[in-house]
Structure 1
Amino acid sequence: MAKEGSIVVVDDNKGILTALQMLLSATFRNVITLSSPNNLIYTLQREKIDMVLLDMNFTSGLNNGNEGLFWLKEIKKHAPSVHVVLFTAYAEIDLAVRGIKEGASDFIVKPWDNDKLLTVLTGIMNKRKSVPKQKKEENCTVDFFWGDSPAMQRVRSYIEKVAKTDATILITGENGTGKGLLANEIHRLSLRNKAPMVHVDMGAITETLFESELFGHVKGAFTDARTDRTGKFEEANNGSLFLDEIGNLSYQLQSKLLTAIQQRSIVRVGSNQLIPVSARLICATNQNLQDMVSKSLFREDLLYRINTIHVEIPPLRERPKDIVPLAEQFIQKYATRYNRDVQVLTKEAKAKLTAHSWDGNIRELEHTMEKAVIICESETLGEDDFHLARKKESATITSVSTLEEMEKIMIQKSMDKQHGNLSAVASELGISRQTLYNKMKKYEL
């Protein structure tokens, strides 16, 4: 068989470099070994390289894998077409999974098996030759999943009736239940589906940029306003405007949003011109807005405006019949994305997934399936391929090993105590709501 392709091996262990030089030279046309990643980018720019086999750690005493992730990003920035396979110790598999999410093609666990290593590398080379660049992302999206549970069928019947109207809809439900996906489905079923649906994460907008983001601004309105800018309301004109996490909006900004909704018009920052807008409003939150109203944290008049139609998405634990079908959709999605041959869940695996509480709902299930697809080495996923998190209540500060874990637990405990009221949580923890929101994103709370 003719030798094909060029590979760079980066590892600080000279014994490993020598062994891989001998092994890979029988398969690859060109094998380059580097004991440090410092010259890696230069090598990629000078040579025609197809693949990099990259170690995760290079500095003595450091074994957190961050160096490998850093160099992975550098490779993808300077040579995005080059495939990267991560070389990792068994204890770093979670980092390797994170690396695949950030663009690595696969990972090899040390100590490696020669036949398996060659199978992985040559498999990537063959796919590089035969698969069009854009095919990898085809059919990777998962549409809104209604399922067969009675609760979701009631939601479906309700949505199909109201979607074709222009009524404002409020979607509530726990984190990870698919509120954003349902909003997309409402827009798809609406009479406005030929126009855009604009998504706004209300918790991620700072107070100083709120008006500019939603209403736009004119050139010179403030220091960095170098050109006119269209706001989200105008972008969604004749379409739908989805305001996610609306419960995170401060009381002061709620009045500005209410004015725009009532007048069906906006004024760009720095202008006096009234601009009419026609956007169907869809809002979502995981908080109890009526409870927030009683505590003067949310405007009652705004709640009336956004709550013409109220839809509650039930948590996944209340619809166990939907767990396996959803899991199978995610298997298909990530098997396509990561070029895996995983196809089947065993009977035992289905039972394990169905019995789990899924406190993180569909988001947790999707993350679990993605990780399992990446790590699985066969076409079948068994019960041992899933390492499911324990219930949040079982976590204690005495059992954590890092400051980040402790911080996550403290935030979760405060959220439970305050029943999801983020303003109260931020106040209790002594941080701003924006900082709290960023940390919730980081820890997937």
Structure 2
Amino acid sequence: MKIAIVEDDINMRKSLEIAMSTLKEYEIKSFKNAKDALKALDDSFDLVITDINMPGMDGIEFVKKLGGRYEVIIMTGNATLQRAIESIHLGVKDFLLKPFDVETLIKAIERESKVQKVLKKSSKSSIKSSEDFLGSSSALESVLALARRAAKTDATVLLLGESGVGKELFAKYIHKNSPRASKPFIAINMAAIPENLIESELFGFVKGAFTDAYADKPGQFELANGGTIFLDEIGEMPYHLQAKLLRVLQEREVRRLGSDKSIKIDVRIVSATNANLLTKIKNGEFREDLYYRLNTIPLNIPPLRKRKEEILQIAGKILQQKCQEYGLEQKEFSDDAKEMLQAYEWPGNIRELISVVERAAILSQGKEIISEDLFLESRGVKREKNSIQEMEKALIAEVLDSCNGDIQESAKILGMSKTALNKKIKQYNLGV
């Protein structure tokens, strides 16, 4: 297993290199900053371990740049809850608070190694657990009812909600319940396409339009003709291309890059975002006229923490599917594990829940998954915690204890001022 360690603190970096050099099964390559790591990372690497707070490009931005190509473990000395949530949104599996012993990190690596081995052995025809809604709740049914009504029309729909709530699944649901169901459904993630390729990807190009344009190529709008095109992360669309999308909505035609000929299309547009588009409009990052064109029918998808009754339903179905997919014996959750699943806030929503259950299915011993198999404590949650405030209180108490009540040192680790920390201590009645 080849591992990249990204850590700006030379003492920490060298300590990790020395400690892990004795482990022959791991090939370690370390980098002093994220930019150096990005230049060197290739397909031979299996895992990236990175600090968060680094000069230049920080760990969160670094993970975004990795684009999901590698599994990531984050380590930091000032793990605020918000930073943990940011990393979870990006698919980070483990979040380690410094100082930690090497054994803790090695165990995290061993867990990841075991998961990767099982995934590589699993059938290529994997079960697509995201194709159907896996749970049921009054909150979900309310949104689905509105989606069904919207599906009967050709009006544009704007799906709003946090990362991981399943916006593409809702877009597919609208398509399947529409008169266009037998026609193509094409999904495009604006955040996943390099900015210089978005225009040609969406609208196509003609031969000679640019250096590598050796033949005409239709864009995704043409390919979706008669059906539905789903524009995910619409808030990330470059401003200069938004006018071209507006023209598609108004004129129902596209023009390939390098051509002066317009092509008529018949496409239903569903878009989605987890950003505040009104704020982007105020900041000059998103066109107001385009916003109103896309927002004919807004659909607000509630986060998983507002749909608590779905958690165990989804977890149970995913567990059954993953055991079948990876050739594991069928397993079930202990009462303790169920309690922890229900108590956790799920900042990464359904995407995070699927990831946690998948790892637990692979890593657990025997037929029963216990709370320890979920590894949710590494994400800053204890079983009895049921709110963000309680999670924050626990984190502050832990740091204060490790610093023997030293306010200045604790504030530094937590990344807040002494005044702010004193207010939190008073608020949570921690009494140092």
TM-score interval w.r.t. the shorter chain? 0.5 to 0.7
Q: Is residue 207–residue 216 contact of structure 2 (8 Å, CA) maintained in 1? A: yes
What is the CA–CA distance in structure 2 between the aligned matches of 1:100 and 1:64, rounded to whole Å? 13
Q: Could you tell me how far apart the structure 2 residues matched to 1:254 and 1:324 are?
A: 41
Structure 2 residue 180 is the aligned partner of structure 1 residue 192: yes
Preserved CA contact (<8 Å) 1:324 1:350: yes
Does structure 2 conserve the Cα–Cα contact (< 8 Å) formed by 1:146 and 1:156? no
1:180 aligns with 2:197: no
- Partner letter of residue 162 of structure 1? A
Give unmatched runs, 5+ long, in structure 1.
1-9, 11-58, 74-88, 106-132, 400-412, 414-445
Larger radius of gyration: 1
1:288 aligns with 2:245: no
Preserved contact between residue 171 and residue 310 of structure 1 (Cα < 8 Å)? yes
Distance 1:320 1:284 in 2: 23
- Correspondence for 2:117: 100
C-alpha distance 219-303 of structure 1, shift in aligned 2 (>3 A):
same
Residue of 227, 230, 242 corresponding to 1:239: 227
SS in 1 for 2:129: coil
Sequence identity (%): 39
2:277 partner letter: L
Q: CA deviation at 1:94?
A: 2.8
1:249 corresponding residue in structure 2: 237
| Residue 295 (structure 2) aligns with | 307
Q: 1:253 to 1:103 in 2, by over 3 A?
A: same
Alignment TM-score, normalising by the size of structure 1: 0.61
SS, match of residue 103 in structure 1: helix
Deviation at 1:257, TM superposition (A): 1.3
Distance 2:266 2:375 in 1: 48
- Structure 1 SS opposite 2:214: coil
Q: How does 1:103-252 map to 2 (within 5 A)?
A: 103-104=120-121, 137=126, 139-145=127-133, 147-252=135-240
Q: Is the 8 A contact 2:134 2:313 kept in 1?
A: no
Q: In structure 2, what is the Cα distance between the partners aligned to 1:282 and 1:383?
A: 39
When the two chains are superposed, the root-mean-square deviation of aligned CA atoms in Å is: 3.0
Amino acid at match of 1:187: H
Answer whether contact 1:207 1:253 (CA < 8 A) is retained.
no
Stretch deviating more after TM superposition (342-351 or 318-327) = 342-351
Structure 2 counterparts to residues 41-440 of structure 1, below 5 A: 61=22, 65=26, 70=44, 90=107, 92-100=109-117, 103-104=120-121, 137=126, 139-145=127-133, 147-388=135-376, 389-390=379-380
The residue that corresponds to 2:16 in the other structure is none
Superposed CA offset, 1:351-375 (max 9, x none): 1100111111111111100100111
Contact 2:115 2:362 in 1 (8 A): no
Q: Between Structure 1 and Structure 2, how many residues are aligned?
A: 299
Contact 1:140 1:337 (C-alpha < 8 Å) held by counterparts: no
Q: Structure 2: state its 5+ residue gaps.
A: 2-19, 29-42, 48-105, 382-387, 400-414, 416-432
Where 1:266 maps in the other structure, the secondary structure is strand
Instruction: Point out which structure has higher relative CO (alpha carbons under 8 A, 6+ apart).
Output: 2
Give the alignment's TM-score, normalised by structure 2: 0.63
